[in-house]
């Protein structure tokens, strides 16, 4: 009898903002058991976590604090459980944000979040937020295939969907796996440092390329589970 492949559970943290149901549907499409939750217990018991979000940095942190989820997320990160931050979810992984003043983030990745200030392309002003399709470019020195990362099997320069006014600036560059140009700005659009992954683009709105991202997330979760199970032996 052939056994069915394991279906990993993914806690999609409900902060009351973002494309929650689109992310849930993308998880379901690739065979992940994605579920919306703000429960500490459910987040602790999940195989992986997705931090979604579109909105204000401070509002997201206020919600996490009111739900007593800040320590839960930090403990999950320390346990090496995969955590994927999407858009605002990526930004709150940083040390602090600058929206409406200095505001502390989760501080899981050292760095901060800044706003596009008068972006332009050849002297022509660009709109803020950036809203639409843009390229993600491989960082020099990485393998051509982004092998072993959340972007594996995507071509360099792939177009993904963006909708944001702020961008992350990690203190160290060693975790940055992709950058994107928006006029005179070149910013980090993807990082992967151990179990912590951030995407400024929205894979759930990026067609086939986005589905590839979610399939890659399965491989990252599988690796985490193999390591966790080996440590129990």
Catalytic residues, by residue number, are: 87, 202, 204
Distance CA 174, CA 108 (A): 15
Distance CA 78, CA 203 (A): 25
Q: Do residues 166 and 113 lie in contact, with contact meaning Cβ atoms separated by under 8 Å?
A: yes
Distance CA 221, CA 53 (A): 21
Beta strands in 116-155 (DSSP E): 120-121, 124-125, 130-138
Mention every residue, 6+ apart, whose C-beta is less than 8 A from residue 105.
Answer: 57, 61, 91, 92, 93, 94, 95, 96, 97, 113
Residue 189, phi then psi, degrees to nearest 5: -105, -10
Distance CA 143, CA 139 (A): 9
- In the 8-state DSSP scheme, what is residue 130? E
Distance CA 45, CA 144 (A): 35
* Residue 219 structure tokens: 């491989």
């Amino acid at each position: 009898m052939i056994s069915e492949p394991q279906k990993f559970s993914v806690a999609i943290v409900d902060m009351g903002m973002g494309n929650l149901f689109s992310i849930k549907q993308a998880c379901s499409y690739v065979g992940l058991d994605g579920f919306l939750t703000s429960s500490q217990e459910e987040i602790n018991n999940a195989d992986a976590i997705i931090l979604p979000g579109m909105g204000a940095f401070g509002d997201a942190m206020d919600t996490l604090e009111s739900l007593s989820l800040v320590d839960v997320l930090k403990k999950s990160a320390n346990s090496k459980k995969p955590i994927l931050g999407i858009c605002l979810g990526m930004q709150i992984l940083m040390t602090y944000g600058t929206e409406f003043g200095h505001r502390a983030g989760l501080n899981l990745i050292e760095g901060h979040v800044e706003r596009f200030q008068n972006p332009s392309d050849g002297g022509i002003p660009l709109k803020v937020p950036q809203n639409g399709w843009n390229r993600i470019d491989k960082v020099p020195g990485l393998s051509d295939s982004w092998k072993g990362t959340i972007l594996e099997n995507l071509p360099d320069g792939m177009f993904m969907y963006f909708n944001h006014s702020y961008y992350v600036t990690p203190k160290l560059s060693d975790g940055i796996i992709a950058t994107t140009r928006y006029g005179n700005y070149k910013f980090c659009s993807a990082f992967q440092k151990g179990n912590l992954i951030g995407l400024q683009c929205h894979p759930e709105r990026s067609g086939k390329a986005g589905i590839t991202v979610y399939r890659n997330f399965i491989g990252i979760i599988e690796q985490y589970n193999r390591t966790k199970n080996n440590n129990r032996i």
